[in-house]
Amino acid sequence: MAKAKTEFVCQACGARSPRWLGRCPGCSAWDSLAEEALETRTVKARGGAEKSLVRSITSVGAEKLERTSTGLAELDRVLGGGLVPGSVILLGGEPGIGKSTLLLQAARAVAASGNPVLYASGEESVAQIADRGRRLGALTESLFVVATTELEVVLAASHEVKPALLVIDSIQTLRSSSLDGAAGTVGQVREVTARLVDMAKQHGIPLVLVGHVTKEGSIAGPKVVEHLVDAVLAFEGDRGQGLRTVRALKNRFGRGGEVGVFAMTESGLEEVASPSRFLLGDRRTSLAGSIVAPTCEGTRALCIEVQALVAPFNFGNPRRTTSGIDSARLAMILAVLERKAEIPFSTMDVYVNLTGGLRIDEPALDLPIALALVSSLRGRALPPEFAAFGEVGLGGEVRAVGHLEARLREAKALGFASCIGPASRERTEGLMPVRTIEEALGWIER
Ligand code: TYD
Ligand code: MG
């Protein structure tokens, strides 16, 4: 293929240059210019001039999307009900989290119904993929594999197979020969993605792209292609015993924020239909410093355990260690407790942990975190029949959060008679309403 026209684009400020420069003329950043293909595609009106290019929004009927199940209800939920033809999904996650495993399982399910699936890997040999497939019970005749790092090979293979699902593992390992630069550079990742997206849209093939995530949490390289894809899924969690979650950060064919929950086993990823039970399974009832909180992710309520440990500190600065929650949120809660309950946290080390390796950013965790902190400090547990949720304001007020019904229902299903939470006009059954953080702390004294 002829080499496409290229230009050099600063990855920091977007300034363009026809030549490579060591320093960006726009923002003076060093070594920030990367080669990218020039956009040369021109818009061609289809069907001649007499045909109108636009139509009134009222004349557009509601289209029913034909969806293909991935065989994993948890993944289907995150996608909004399955794979949509021509949709492009970016699945990001740290190495070893289980991206290849998850997609090979999905490929197995789609191929099992006789539809061809193409799994293209630039990371593993076909022998390695087949070996994994054997362990996952994914040896199906209509599952085709190709090991390559060349985009053009993938496109040709796809042309041959005409797959009902195309998996690219991973986007950073592919390179196009129409562009200089190694695989994984911003220019290559962008070009490879654009070409694959074009192909998927043209032939109505659902396309899943794997993207590796850097330590900072951004999908390295692929961060720049997030706008090119229809859905961005983040695969996160504990590589040990805990749960792994797939979260929709963006979804044009479903609601964002939905989460699917999995556990890694000997035979691949297993769906966890009741994560609350999984998470609270070995919890000892009524422990000082431990509070159960019904959180909400997407449309799903999830009971998790918040653990806190407060201890006097010896020297230097007091420690603030969090796992699973936002540390800025903890700092705010500590400041409010310091003011409202006159607890001198500045003289104490504080550790807060969500069990199960989950990470949850939800203001509804404020109140359970505050209760767990004070419970640990006082060495007294909350009565075992209580769970807690609610946002805490800077004035110490306990604020309403969404999905009240779902939270109360989930807590009840797990055997909690009542939730300490924000007062609500809608419902009081199963709710122990509190207006302020002081009022909530009263429950630890008894
Ligand atoms: P993998 O899917 O290769 O992760 P990624 O593609 O995100 O880098 O697998 C992650 C880990 O899971 C790997 O270290 C091995 C383990 N694993 C199991 O425990 N059970 C299994 O059945 C499989 C296939 C993998
Ligand atoms: Mg992999």
pTM of the full predicted structure? 0.81
Mutation choice for ligand 1 from 139, 214, 239, 264, CB with most ligand atoms inside 8 A: 264
> 296 forms bridges with which residues in the sheet?
301
DSSP assignment letter at 267: T
Ligand with the closest atom to the CA of 99? 1
Q: Closest by alpha carbon to 394, among 426, 356, 436?
A: 436
Ligand 1 nearest atom to the CA of residue 123, by list position:
6
- Cα three-residue angle 93-95-100, rounded to 5 degrees: 75
**Helices 437-445 and 327-340: angle between axes, nearest 10 degrees:** 80
Model confidence at 39, in pLDDT bands (50, 70, 90)?
Answer: low
Distance (Å, whole) CA 311 – CA 294? 26
- Residue 432 pLDDT more than 80? yes
Tokens of 366: 């404020």
The reply to whether ligand 1 has any atom less than 6 angstroms from the CB of 97 is: yes
* Distance between Cα 137 and ligand 1 center (Å): 14
| Centre of ligand 2 from the C-alpha of residue 132, in Å | 11
Among 75, 101, 123, 210, residue to substitute to test ligand 1 (most atoms within 8 Å of Cβ): 101
Mean predicted confidence (pLDDT) in 167-190: 88
Nearest residue by C-alpha to atom 21 in ligand 1 = 268
Identify the residue whose C-alpha is closest to ligand 1 atom 17. 268
**Ligand 1 atom 9: residue of nearest CA:** 98
Which DSSP category does 82 fall into? Answer: S
Between 213 and 366, residue with greater pLDDT? 366
Using DSSP's 3-state secondary structure scheme, residue 401 falls into coil
Angle between helices 186-203 and 151-161 (to 10 degrees): 10
Q: Measure 98 CA to ligand 2 centroid, in angstroms.
A: 7
CA nearest neighbour of 171 among 113, 127, 116, 222: 222
The confidence score (pLDDT) of residue 50 equals 61
Instruction: Return the exposure string of 343-368: e unless at least 16 CB atoms fall within 10 Å of the residue's CB, then b.
Output: bebeebbbbbbbbbbbebebbbbbbb
Distance 100 CA to ligand 2 centre (A): 4
What the block records as the tokens of 326 is 């936002």
Among the bound ligands, the one closest to the CA of 122: 2
pLDDT value for 428: 75
Q: Is the CB of 280 under 6 A from ligand 1?
A: no
Task: Inform me whether the pLDDT recorded for 93 exceeds 50.
Answer: yes
- Which of 115, 117, 113, 106 has the alpha carbon at shortest distance from 82? 106
Q: Is the CB of 93 under 6 A from ligand 1?
A: yes
Which ligand is nearest the CA of 133, by number?
1
Which ligand is nearest to the Cα of residue 94, counting in written order? 1
What is the chain's alpha carbon radius of gyration, rounded to the nearest angstrom? 26
Q: Which residues contact 232 (CB under 8 A, 6 or more apart)?
A: 89, 90, 92, 219, 226, 248, 249, 250, 251
The answer to whether the bond into 28 is cis (omega within 30° of 0) is no
| pLDDT tens figures, 107-117 | 999 999 899 99
Rounded to the nearest whole angstrom, what is the distance from the C-alpha of residue 90 to the centroid of ligand 1? 18
Taking Cα atoms as reference points, which of 359, 391, 353 lies closest to residue 372? 353
**Mean pLDDT for the chain overall:** 88
Q: Round to whole Å and give the CA distance between 391 and 428.
A: 18
Query: Which range (55-69, 137-151, 355-369) has the least confidence?
Result: 55-69
Which of 177, 268, 218, 173 minimizes the C-alpha distance to 11?
Answer: 218
Q: Give me ligand 2 centre to Cα 169, in Å.
A: 7
Say how many Å lie between the CA of residue 97 and the centre of ligand 1: 7
Percent of the chain scoring above 90 in pLDDT: 59
Degrees (nearest 5) of the Cα angle 47, 50, 56? 90
Counting ligands in written order, the one closest to the CA of 93 is 1
Using the mean position of ligand 1's atoms as its centre, give its distance from the Cα of residue 133 in Å.
11
